[in-house]
Amino acid sequence: MLLERRYSHEFGEDTAAVAGPPATWGASVYLQPGELHVGQTPCTLTTIVGSCVAVCMHDSDAQVGGANHYLLPYNLNSGDALRYGAVSIPRLVDELVRRGARKSRLEAKVFGGACMLMTARTRAQHLGAQNVRLAQRLLAEHGIPIVAQDVEGDRARRIFYRTDSGAVWLKRL
């Protein structure tokens, strides 16, 4: 059975969606692993995450939002690639602020961090869990509340995120 959820203050934090993302969600940008996108022009960001994590952030007053998609929590070789959450999350915050958001008004939604390997499911700190814990810790350090999340478990998720409203539609795969 496929689970579809809409995460938005407009609809309540966790309201079942009916038939997928609204057709009126317009132009879309697909986020590959290791990418982020911030937009003041309304658009829909889409991605699919398994053990990866997508962090979606929005400032409703500035009507600016963005999201990232990262694969690993840290880079042990001290590079700055966006595929690492320790790089991608602060960069997403910086890009939002550059486009008019105020850090004090940002709200976050976090998705992904599944344990995709059957053999790792008994471990509490599998890769997906590490990705989720990093997002939660960094957002707390930045003072950005997490207003919705759908994390961990054993299924991938498809996400559609509106940059102007902060609305998210999620489908477990």
Residue 5 lies in a domain: no
Q: E strands within the chain? A: 4-8, 12-16, 28-30, 35-39, 44-49, 53-59, 64-69, 107-112, 146-151, 157-162, 168-172
Beta strand 28-30 pairing with 44-49: parallel
Q: How far apart are CA 53 and CA 144, in angstroms?
A: 17
- Which residue among 43, 52, 56, 115 is the active-site one? 52
How many structural domains does the chain have? 1
Q: Would residue 25 count as lying in a domain? A: no
Question: Does some domain include residue 143?
Answer: yes
Query: 82 lies in a domain?
Result: yes
CA dihedral sign, ordered 87, 139, 30, 50: positive
Written as tens digits, the pLDDT of the chain (173 aa) is 233 454 444 433 444 444 456 556 667 899 999 999 998 788 899 999 999 999 999 999 999 999 999 999 998 776 679 999 999 999 999 999 999 999 999 999 999 999 987 665 566 689 999 999 999 999 999 999 999 999 999 999 999 999 988 999 888 88
52 an active-site residue?
yes
Domain containing residue 142: CATH number: 3.30.1330.200
Task: Note whether residue 21 is domain-resident.
Answer: no
> Tokens in use for 82?
């966006």
Decide if 28 is inside a domain: no
**Burial code of 13-30, b = ≥16 C-beta within 10 A, e = fewer?**
eeeebeeebeeebeeeee
Q: Does a structural domain hold residue 27?
A: no
Q: Which domain holds residue 146?
A: 41-172
